[in-house]
Chain A
């Protein structure tokens, strides 16, 4: 009996002894305390939470080899095998941070991302629709961001001393040959693609990814939406036409079609235009989209856009304003884009697509008929994935083939044709290497072969970003870029080589509490620009060059004043080029030294409205006056514009949208044009280049019909 009780006593005593204390401290790799981590003895209930100083302590009755796990949000699990045998165990848990797309540094040099999915974005997709003066045009809204130039008569994106042709548009990674609708003389053109189609917009003002080639100054990458969740019909009644769209959605896919008719005549009859119209612009457009998810994460998308626009007007020569020279244009445009994406395994995915652009301008100038036809085919495949948690890799191959023909059917003289066919084949690869959540290096290269110029070249790209604080980071970018010369010159001389640019960018960004500050400085060097060997374009070479340098500031505040969102952009540009007919290095005619914009948006709940104001300013632009001895010595007055918009939601499914540009009616002058020959007194007569009407007014009513009553077109406007 005694033996038994001794045995029992030992047993109980052993149990008491088996209470092991486990204590420790949780820190990160930098030695900073990590508070409130979870400390777990695996497969038991035992464990505790660390306190705010990262200290923990608990006891366990388990014995033998055990696994201790320490975990906390943003870090990888700390795992350690411990021998539990009664003695107090002390554990120093050093947590390694996990690379986390939410908190990790991002490459911000030159990049403006607008996405609903990414969280730290400077610009949101909805901003495009709600910026006054932009009238829901993508380029119009982006023109309020730093790095862009106001070139009011064009409507295109001019970036950092580059002309409008140097900005390339891509949809789902596929090139769009001409992304703008034709517009009458001195009327800003609008983008062909409506912002509502896209879930994300990435606008880069330099130093962009090796994936994007054939763009000298800027890449505008638009990502189309993956999903249409609802079957709906949208009706738009506009002051310049109307549209109707229908979307049919099913589980995992959707199809949509839209037809739009635009006729500006009623508007032009109401608001006088400084154009001698024969037939005012009208256009008919249809577009279709199809999207289908395949398997768990595969996807195919198809998009097609078909447009026909025509107008006719009379030009008045500078020297003979009474004369009327007919110009009649019919533009036919088709764009088709097919996209696929498939996930190969946990780490790798493949995407790619094919795009086709066809554009024909059939122009009647007096008795001459000139038909300009462009066709482009782009095919691309990209493999992307993660080599490890810290290294992401993107590699791809692409081919862009395009043909350009200009056929002249002349009233007098022999008909002739000029044009070219160009095929650019490229491979690119790029790696993002995360040293930590605070430091990332992106290194890539693009090898391009141009079958027309027989040119083969490798362009390196390099970006670095370093997080200087929880909310701030600095970023550096360098890259070499090339683009075939403008069709205007390539059609005259097929031997021309690509124009080249080197970008150097330094960026600082601070984002906290709905307030964003960005500052960026850059230097851009242009080489091999097209140059006239003589006085005219008959003899062209690649001997031109130039530079652009400057700095930009951006401030956005969505917080300080309730229901108010505003941003401010300033760009300083110092640029000169010696190209085309320039006798010496000089400021190109589209460049202005100072640009700034203030965008203000106010949500007025009681009126169920959002109102917006945008003020834009650009300092004067250089122009050449042939009557002056000095080249390019003229300077236009500055440009300024105050635009207004108002969106009113009387019902959840109805929006009334009104906008007006140039409220103050300023007579902006963009430059001067001169007669090619002097008059009898030896004077070159000239006239100013200005908009055909000082203001543009727009009124639209948008109605959405669907089973769910609270859906409207606001996000798509």
Chain B
């Protein structure tokens, strides 16, 4: 092999490598761009049809990106939001079932994650609202367990703290007890929302509005 062909060869190799890398890079870029667009749309979506549209789009991404946990996480979040807005109890439960199914798929891709645990606790919390006297004892406890688990995995998770504050507040109100404990949790949550940082640009950021909304109750 002479130097000329050698040079050409290495050039070709470089080109091949470059193209492969950029193709892979482009793929990931495409994924992140698609996800960012949908996550943004999900946070903004108000009516169930709009949420369903985003969930559908996420579901399509999930079908193509079988190793990514983010689509499952946001599908789970989307269905919790739909359940939250639904008044029919049977449908509410169906949405929560779909949410839990997505969370379970996501947990297989990313085990022992604080965000998934918090979201799962959220599902149980909404489950209580279907029939509080009957569901309260079982699902109330399950949701608290998940918030504790979430915080054990990451004590900095502001969403787990905000949801836990909600549960504590609701329980304290129900029994006519002091809401000090709930408000302490809420304040911790508000602080963590300021400091929470993730390497992942697709990491969840929701929950601050909910926590801000609770401030009034703790004045």
The chain A residues found within 8 Å of chain B, CB to CB, are 35-40, 42-49, 52, 69, 71, 73-74, 100, 102-103, 116, 119-120, 124-126, 229-230, 513-514, 605-606, 608, 649, 651-652, 708, 710-711, 714-715
- Could you tell me the distance between the alpha carbons of A69 and B60 in the complex, rounded to whole angstroms? 10
| A73 and B98 contact, CB distance less than 8 A | yes
- Say how far B100's CB is from chain A's closest CB, in angstroms: 13
For residue B135, which residues in chain A have a CB less than 8 angstroms away from its CB? 116
The chain B residues found within 8 Å of chain A, CB to CB, are 30, 34, 49, 52-53, 55-57, 59-61, 63-64, 88-90, 93-95, 97-98, 130-131, 133-135, 137-138, 140-141, 171, 174-177
Name the one of B34, B49, B95, B141 contacting A708, with C-beta atoms under 8 angstroms: B141
For residue B57, which residues in chain A have a CB less than 8 angstroms away from its CB? 47, 49
For residue A119, which residues in chain B have a CB less than 8 angstroms away from its CB? 89-90, 93, 130
- Could you tell me the distance between the alpha carbons of A183 and B34 in the complex, rounded to whole angstroms? 72
Interface centre among B56, B61, B176 (most CB of A within 10 A): B56
Question: At the interface, is chain A mostly helix, strand, loop or mixed?
Answer: loop
- Could you tell me the distance between the alpha carbons of A126 and B52 in the complex, rounded to whole angstroms? 35
For residue B98, which residues in chain A have a CB less than 8 angstroms away from its CB? 73
> Given contacts A38-B60, A40-B59, A608-B176, are A126 and B171 in contact (CB under 8 A)?
no
| A102 and B90 contact, CB distance less than 8 A | yes
- Could you tell me the distance between the alpha carbons of A40 and B63 in the complex, rounded to whole angstroms? 8
- Say how far B126's CB is from chain A's closest CB, in angstroms: 14
For residue B93, which residues in chain A have a CB less than 8 angstroms away from its CB? 102, 119
- Say how far B206's CB is from chain A's closest CB, in angstroms: 22
| A102 and B94 contact, CB distance less than 8 A | yes
- Say how far A520's CB is from chain B's closest CB, in angstroms: 23
- Could you tell me the distance between the alpha carbons of A674 and B191 in the complex, rounded to whole angstroms? 82
For residue B56, which residues in chain A have a CB less than 8 angstroms away from its CB? 36-39, 47-49
- Say how far A504's CB is from chain B's closest CB, in angstroms: 30
For residue A71, which residues in chain B have a CB less than 8 angstroms away from its CB? 59
Name the one of B53, B134, B138 contacting A124, with C-beta atoms under 8 angstroms: B134
> Given contacts A36-B53, A36-B56, are A74 and B137 in contact (CB under 8 A)?
no
A-B contact pairs, 8 of them (CB 8 A): A40-B63, A46-B60, A230-B141, A605-B174, A652-B175, A710-B171, A710-B175, A715-B137
For residue B55, which residues in chain A have a CB less than 8 angstroms away from its CB? 38
- Could you tell me the distance between the alpha carbons of A39 and B56 in the complex, rounded to whole angstroms? 8
| A229 and B90 contact, CB distance less than 8 A | no
Name the one of B53, B141, B175 contacting A651, with C-beta atoms under 8 angstroms: B175
- Could you tell me the distance between the alpha carbons of A606 and B176 in the complex, rounded to whole angstroms? 8
- Say how far B71's CB is from chain A's closest CB, in angstroms: 11
Q: What residue of chain A has the Cβ atom nearest to residue B87's Cβ? A: A513
For residue B88, which residues in chain A have a CB less than 8 angstroms away from its CB? 513
Name the one of A36, A39, A103 contacting B90, with C-beta atoms under 8 angstroms: A103
- Say how far B37's CB is from chain A's closest CB, in angstroms: 11
- Say how far A76's CB is from chain B's closest CB, in angstroms: 15
| B30 and A45 contact, CB distance less than 8 A | yes
For residue A126, which residues in chain B have a CB less than 8 angstroms away from its CB? 133-134
| A49 and B175 contact, CB distance less than 8 A | no
For residue A52, which residues in chain B have a CB less than 8 angstroms away from its CB? 49
For residue B177, which residues in chain A have a CB less than 8 angstroms away from its CB? 652
> Given contacts A49-B52, A708-B141, A711-B137, are A73 and B94 in contact (CB under 8 A)?
yes
